[in-house]
Structure 1
Amino acid sequence: MPGFEWPFTELPPSGPAVVAHAAGDLRIEDVPLKAPAADEAVVEIAYGGICGSDLHYWMHGAAGESILKDPMVLGHEIVGTVVRAAADGSGPAAGTPVAVHPATPGPGAARYPQDRPNLSPGCTYLGSAARHPHTDGAFSRYATLPVRMLRELPAGLSLRTAALVEPASVAWHAVARAGDVAGKTAMVIGSGPIGALVVAVLKRAGAAKITAVDMHDKPLEIARAVGADEVLKGDDAEAIAAVEADVVIESSGSHFGLASAIKGAVRGG
């Protein structure tokens, strides 16, 4: 913002943000910058990936069962630079480029695997209307964030490329859950952004053959470009069943895709 140059001597009181109000009602508004707590840092946002949920909030006023009840700042696939470090000395220093882990485990003592906070009951995410009050996202000039959300980026990784970190981590997690895929045949159902990233991760992890499945030509073109050895149309049930993949990852989120995943898996896969 005009008048605020690096390094900051004071924080701007507000800044522009992308705010969803209702179906079809998306606005750029000046929103207050939250004063940081001792364990929070202020990040200048450089890039943000547009998730399918962001599109749904904009176009439909809801993402699945998460329905907008109040205006909400969108955005959770975000990267930027720390412009004010946490007052308690924790977390990255000012000037550090970071990606953002958008989840916060839920409160309470409910049982869940401690190394898998995404399974915590009541877990919240930046830019989500799953809870009320909603959790604002960070499609904004500046965002005040807990340092536990910040992940320092390696030297040489541009912020523009790093905008893929959050969705790529989803793909990496899915492949990791499948175990060692080296030398195995794999099939990915749904070749949207997450599916394409799953294909890329499978390739890097050493899968012997990767088949991508989608209903549309363009996603299949992208899947082939990032590592798919074979592409199939989603309505070709016979060809899907013939794959007999050792590992199948379903990324379409549809009941049709799940049925295809079961058909395409080898017995015991």
Structure 2
Amino acid sequence: KETSSLEGIGGLLGWDEMTMMPPQAAASRAAQKAALASVIYSKQTDPEIGALLARIQSADAKDLDELQKATVREAARAYRKATSVSDELVRKESELGSKGYHAWVKARQEKDWSIFAPVLKEWIAARRERAAMIDSLRPVYDVLADDYSASLTAERITEIFDEVKEGLVPLLTEVLEKGKAPDNSWLQGDFDTDKQAALCKEVAVALGFDLDKGRLDVSVHPFTGGAHPTDVRMTTRFKPHDIMEGLTGAIHETGHALYEQGRNLELDGLPVNAAAGMAIHESQSLLWERMVGLSR
């Protein structure tokens, strides 16, 4: 639970960095996040955890219920990965995350890819280093994809895409050839961004978002983060002449936020209560954005 709380602090540092933090604080924030990442790493790799897991795993599995088995499985998976990498790499990744974000913001503003490219190159190198430390015999992509969806591989992703293409490509072709674009001119105009923000909050609440356990702010790119199911932070962005930019972003992030607010408080801090992966997370955000927000 202590590690989970520290990770929550990291989530709030990241949220603040992308919403409220003054620009000149970028370097100090990167150092803060790297220091915190190192503390979390030391707790995640504590040898006592390994010894405890070894004792539990050597015991008769019949003595554990399904929840306990899942908790041990997820804890062992996290411990194996954490102990495979170095503290130095963990700090480097954290610093590059902050450095890369601010480089991306500047590159976006100035429409200059060269500002972001060098940091991206460093990031890719660091991720390759991580993959090699965890399992040098498996493809890099497969090792890293496992962080986002357990046991996911490039081969499996290709199989899924191929299956989806069978129905999607003919449908898309037919829509492009015979479909009629809807008249959305009424969505273009001059929309006060404060009123847009109020509308987005109203819609989020209507979908189930609890403002007593979260908030909606503005960032360069919409995201959902925070520290706990009782403290979920989501953002969107607004364009004065396009009301759908902010609204669809808010609905999408509400899907993520509902998932986070719905996590079981009775399992607070246990690895089994972490998000089940980005595939599930994105399924919730896209369900609300596409199936509800953009439906008839």
TM-score, L = length of structure 2 = 0.24
Structure possessing the higher radius of gyration over alpha carbons: 2
Which structure dedicates a bigger proportion of its chain to strand? 1
Pick 1 or 2: higher relative contact order, CA cutoff 8 A, min separation 6.
Answer: 2
